[in-house]
């Protein structure tokens, strides 16, 4: 029985547990598709991610809340209220070693982003990055598993808060470096694809995204690949 394409916005499988997010609930199944738990700790939860090499699952609500679940114990271990400002749908990722969880957040304004670094020993805030960079708007974050280098997708604003240019950049030692400009079409397709990827490539998430209509022709995309292809473009 295929549970991935039930009414799930997000679906994830770490080989031990399967997790489906419907918006109002987080469902947990075993590998035989037997339902083990249903959590209803927050609304608007469409996506999440497993901590590397563990059965810890972090779900993100677009309402501005994170929920950390221990699936071995089938319990909520921490609920983090970031903000009550809605539309918190930017990217997130664990560092490859699982020691930190990085979440793009908009705690004070929908026009301002920051990157919050959580220590996964107990998910306390270890550091808040780029909160003072008003010109910088972050959209997605990705890590390489082999080098532990990260990549950021976003755009720069001018002094009128309008988009100045889109970019992809490296994220190394908690700094954004080597910024490369991206063409509009490339940026918007990458943004749509990364959102679909965060959902676990569900049919429901695909159907809701107008930016993926040509995905079979354009194919998969990673931020690393975008960065490498953009090497000859003007940076800043």
pLDDT in tens, 163-202: 999 999 999 999 999 999 999 999 999 999 999 999 999 9
Q: Which residues of 190-212 are buried (b: 16+ CB within 10 A; e: fewer)?
A: bbbbbbbbbbbebebbeeeeeeb
Percentage, residues of the chain above pLDDT 90: 84
pLDDT in tens, 36-74: 999 999 999 999 999 999 999 999 999 999 999 999 999
pLDDT in tens, 122-136: 999 999 999 999 999
In this prediction the pTM is 0.94
Task: State the pLDDT at residue 234.
Answer: 44
What structural domains and CATH numbers belong to the chain?
10-229 (2.130.10.10)
Predicted confidence (pLDDT) at residue 1 exceeds the cutoff of 70? no
CA-to-CA distance for 142 and 146, rounded, in angstroms? 12
């Amino acid at each position: 029985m295929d549970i991935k394409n039930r009414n799930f916005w997000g679906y994830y499988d770490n080989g031990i547990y399967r997790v489906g997010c419907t918006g109002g609930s987080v469902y947990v199944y075993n590998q035989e598709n037997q339902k083990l738990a249903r959590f209803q700790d927050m609304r608007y939860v469409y996506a999440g991610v497993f901590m590397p090499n563990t059965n810890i699952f972090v779900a993100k609500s677009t309402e501005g809340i994170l929920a950390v679940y221990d699936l071995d114990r089938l319990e909520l271990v921490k609920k983090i209220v970031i903000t009550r400002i809605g539309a918190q749908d930017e990217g997130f990722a664990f560092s490859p070693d699982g020691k930190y969880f990085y979440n793009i957040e908009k705690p004070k304004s929908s026009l301002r982003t920051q990157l919050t670094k959580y220590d996964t020993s107990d998910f306390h805030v270890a550091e808040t990055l780029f909160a003072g960079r008003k010109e910088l708007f972050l959209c997605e974050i990705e890590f390489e598993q082999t080098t532990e280098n990260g990549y950021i997708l976003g755009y720069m604003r001018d002094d009128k808060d309008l988009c100045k240019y889109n970019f992809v950049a490296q994220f190394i030692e908690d700094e954004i470096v080597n910024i490369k400009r991206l063409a509009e079409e490339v940026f918007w397709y990458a943004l749509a694809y990364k959102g679909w990827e965060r959902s676990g490539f569900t049919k429901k998430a695909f159907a809701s995204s107008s930016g993926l209509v040509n995905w079979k022709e354009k194919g998969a995309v990673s931020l690393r690949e975008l960065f490498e292809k953009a090497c000859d473009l003007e940076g800043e």
